[in-house]
Structure 1
Amino acid sequence: MRTALAAREVSSVYRLLRRTGVSQRQIAAMTGQSQSEVSEILKGRQVMAYDVLARIADGLGVPRGYMGLAYDEVTAIRVAVTREPSQPEESEEVKRREFLAHAAAVTVGANVLGTNSGSWVANPVQTPAPGRIGMTDVRQVEAATRALRSLDYQYGGGFCRDAVVAQLSWGQQMLGASGPEHVKTRLQVALADLYNLAGWTSFDIGLTDSARTHFGKALELAKAGGSEPLVANILYRMGRVYLHKESPNDALKMFQLGQIAAQESGSELAVAVICANQAWAYALMGKKEQTMQLIGRTRDEFARANLDDAEDWVKFFNETDVYAMIGTVHTVLAQTVDPMHTKFAIPALSRAIDSYGDEMTRSKAFNLSALATNHLLEGDIDHGARVGRTAVDLAESLKSSRVKDRLKPLLQEASKRRNNPDARDLADQITNLNVA
């Protein structure tokens, strides 16, 4: 039974229960399924959805950790970095240098800034692996990653991070299994993207060290699997961590490494993503000329990109995201260089916001916050406050500290205008959200 649970072979679990006298009707009652569903599973239908697996575990009284579904102590040992009490905590600057050295070594084979890849690199205890893996096992990892990424977009990293980490525990078991080389290669890429998502959801709730750990492992697996577009995507995401931490110089180094991988991949879409984020970094540094050059290149690369053939981890960068990035970059320039950039930021952000569906709640909140900031900069306080309140309402519905952090520029502009009652109310509303 433990073997069947660990492999998530629900059909085997149900057959074992039937063998000991548990009826289909009893299984259905315990797991919240219909009797016909139980019958289909007994005939071999696979169960892959995380929420269904969790409900089955809970209904049967099985610890979720037996199925790799819980971030319990066992999972933590397998996938989390632990630091010995005797080791002093490294400074953020040292951690960044170590990660850059590791990223450079993985991306271009360079040995720069020292040879130590850093104490943040995870060395998980190997778990018992299945004897042999096939493409079905890999597709399960890919399907789980897609489903969890959708939850992240809609509800924030805090809603699904533990589930992502639990999936890593399951996926990690398969790396030591035997199987055809093409299956192993695809598994490396699939697990790289799952680690990539673990890094992103960790970042979204403010766990920077955990994010760095997962991104580091993701880089290694993506490179081993020969996926340069995914290498570029991982480096872009780590650069975004540094942008969020107001360290554009460090972010730019990540993006420059990412650009090497993107160009090696031949993917114009991957190049466009990196260019857009490089523009953001330069905008934060107040360098308008470089910013505008990169915005232009973003448009050009995106226009040439083949969106239909794009892989999952870069397909998110569609026309809506191009407008969102252009609006974001001009918002930064409006704050740091020239308020006249609001005339470019507002239409771009408005177009992005109008295109977002309910499944992109977090992105919509980001852009509403930036749009409100631009309206305040233009002196349209009433409208800016109205848009800002919508952004705050969305932020309250998300389990994402990053969304709350991104409200800080809006809080700053609203606080400057506290003599206006609408601006004052908006500033108070943001402060009450624990942003200040």
Structure 2
Amino acid sequence: MNSIGSQSSPVPPEVWEAPKMREALAAREISSVYRLLRQHGVSQRQIAAATGQSQSEVSEILKGRQVMAYDVLARIADGLGVPRGYMGLAYDDLTAVRVAGAHEASQTKESEEVKRRKFLARAAAVTVGASVLGADDGDWVSNPVRTPAPGRIGMTDVRQVEAATRALRSLDYQYGGGACRDAVVAQLTWGQQMLAASSSDAVRTRLHVALADLHNLAGWTSFDIGLNDPARNHFGRALELAKAGGNEPLVANILYRMGRVYLHQKEPDDALKIFQLGQIAAQNCGSELAVSVICANQAWAYAMMGHKEQTMKQLGRARSEFERANLAEAQDWVKFFNETDLTAMIGTVHTVLAVTADPKHTRFAIPALQKAIDSFGDNMARSKMFNMSALATNHLIEGDVDHGTKVGRQAVNMAEGLRSKRAIDRLEPLGKEAAKRRNNSDAADLADIISRMFAA
């Protein structure tokens, strides 16, 4: 009786080490994988039982049907006992160590200001200069140990990268960067090795853009959990790849996200410089929506500096550019910025002005934030939490302590359910306003809870 296919170990580990099997796994050619398993005596029934597929599905794959969905590929790998790294999937411990360990542990001990200046110089060179892909990478890109790569790639391979990026971005929105960051970084081991494969010019251009967006997501999720040096590394590489792919809207998106890192670090002056570079890219591509995103974030930076006039000017331009934008034709990199996001930004900016310049801005912040909160779905839990925290802060500033602490508790509960350091950090203004009102027991409790969250 053939023991291959037992529940405890569907396939002996040595099967995955054969050269032909490794090639098929690296290329994600599941039909070839299944045919090789059949040669090792694994039946269709056993494959189906291990992977959770029907025998008819297994039969169709054996006949050549492609498998592209990331979740299905992951289920097949886990069910059959394939090391995920062999398929360029994430996440397993070995892949994580190979990809993330060596480079991120070796970041130089430079001051944060020096690092910001270096990134700004690099961003300027990419945004307003020629493509610099592969030139003087230095600290901008890591060199993970690579799994075997196909010799030639086509659009199917690029679409796999794009599909994985979309799936992982959804996880980030809903659960925070900590839920998927390692998976994003590990996915880059599969994506980056494609740069060495042969392909048509059209495929290579689209690959550059796909990998740029994957690095963009790696930077964003790194930032979300407080890994600022790796975030800079990924954003820098994303810029170069997006420029090489000739995609100015994506360049603008990457710069907007890096600017947000500096806003979070309370460095609005440096954030403005990054946003100004993003504005160049947004205007170059003629995207009103991309310009709107940048203007809204410039307004945020000016509000942090207490410059009310410049803030309102940028906020007004953000509204007018949004109204002119053709949302139906917007590219994926900027399509996320819909009316709900604009409303949330308006509420956020007025909240900052209420804290830094004039408490009367709560009258504009509160309705905008409440409207955004009501519009965000469960798949945007982190964004909803940010707005809940800001809403509570405004109610406290207005003197409505009871309602402010009630909403604040909701924001805290939401933050605790996210794997996001940024979510905890965004509670800081709420904690400060609550601490000012310690004569109210509920406000005192809220301030203490937030303080403990920061300590933890």
Shared fold per TM-score greater than 0.5: yes
User: 1:256 is matched by which residue type in structure 2?
Assistant: Q
Residue matched to 1:352 = 372
Give the TM-score normalised by the residue count of structure 1: 0.94
Displacement of 1:162 in angstroms is 1.4
**1:95-174 to 2 correspondence within 5 Å?**
95-109=115-129, 119-124=138-143, 127=146, 128-174=148-194
Paired with 2:199 and 2:95, the residues of 1 have a C-alpha distance of: 26
User: Which is further off, 71-80 or 35-44?
Assistant: 71-80
User: What is residue 353 of structure 2 aligned with on the other side?
Assistant: 333
Change (3 A) 1:49 1:424: farther
Residue aligning to 1:184: 204
Tell me if 1:373 matches 2:393: yes
Q: Which moved more, 1:125-134 or 1:208-217?
A: 125-134
1:230-269 counterparts in 2 under 5 A? Answer: 230-269=250-289
Residue of structure 2 equivalent to 1:222: 242
Mapped partners of 1:348, 1:132: distance in 2? 51
Q: Which runs of 5+ in 1 are unaligned?
A: none
Deviations 1:367-423 (A, max 9, x none): 000000000000001111111111111111111110111011101111111111221
Classify 1:126/1:393 alpha carbon distance in 2 versus 1 (closer, same or farther; 3 Å): closer
Q: Distance in 2 between matches of 1:134 and 1:79?
A: 27
Instruction: Give the root-mean-square deviation of aligned CA atoms.
Output: 2.1
CA distance in 2, matches of 1:377, 1:81: 47
Partner in structure 2 of residue 27 of structure 1: 47
Paired residue for 2:318? 298
Equivalents in 1 of 2:158, 2:60: separation in Å? 23
Structure 2 distance, partners of 1:155, 1:108, is 36
Q: Is 1:431 aligned with 2:451? A: yes
Q: Could you say if the C-alpha distance between residues 166 and 78 of structure 1 is closer, same or farther in structure 2, counting changes exceeding 3 Å?
A: closer
SS at match of 1:33: coil
Partners of 1:79 and 1:408 in 2: CA distance: 30
Aligned partner of 1:82 among 103, 112, 118: 103
Query: What is the number of equivalent residue pairs in this alignment?
Result: 431
2:18 alignment partner in structure 1: none
Aligned partners of 2:226 and 2:421 also within 8 Å: yes
Deviations 1:343-365 (A, max 9, x none): 00001101111110111100000
Name the CA shift for 1:395/1:123 in 2 (closer, same or farther; >3 Å).
Answer: closer
Corresponding letter in the other structure for 1:6: A
Does the residue aligned with 2:348 lie in a helix, a strand or coil?
helix
Aligned residue among 415, 419, 436 for 1:399: 419
Q: CA separation in 1, counterparts of 2:130 and 2:245?
A: 19
- Is the contact between residue 405 and residue 442 of structure 2 (CA under 8 Å) also seen in structure 1? yes
Aligned partners of 1:59, 1:250: CA distance in 2, in Å? Answer: 48
2:223 is equivalent to residue 203 of structure 1: yes
Under a length normalisation based on structure 2, what TM-score does the superposition of the two structures give? 0.90
With over 3 angstroms needed to count, the CA separation of the structure-2 counterparts of 1:92 and 1:71, relative to structure 1, is farther
Return the offset for 1:38. Answer: 2.4
Change (3 A) 1:126 1:219: farther
Give, in whole Å, the separation in 1 of the partners of 2:292 and 2:49: 51
Aligned-residue offset at 1:65: 1.5
Describe the superposition over 1:24-70 as per-residue Cα deviations: whole angstroms up to 9, x where unpaired. 11112222333333233323333333333233222222222212223
Distance 2:404 2:352 in 1: 16
Question: For residue 332 of structure 1, what is the amino acid of its counterpart?
Answer: V
SS in 2 for 1:308: helix
CA contact (8 A) 2:78 2:84 kept: yes
Structure 1 CA distance for aligned equivalents of residues 175 and 207 of structure 2? 27
Which segment is superposed worse, 176-185 or 370-379? 176-185
Change (3 A) 1:373 1:99: same
Flag the 1:88–1:354 CA change in 2: closer, same or farther, 3 A: closer
Distance 1:175 1:337 in 2: 50
Identity %: 75
For structure 2, the residue ranges without an aligned partner over 5 or more in a row are 1-20
Q: Does 1:15 find its partner at 2:35?
A: yes
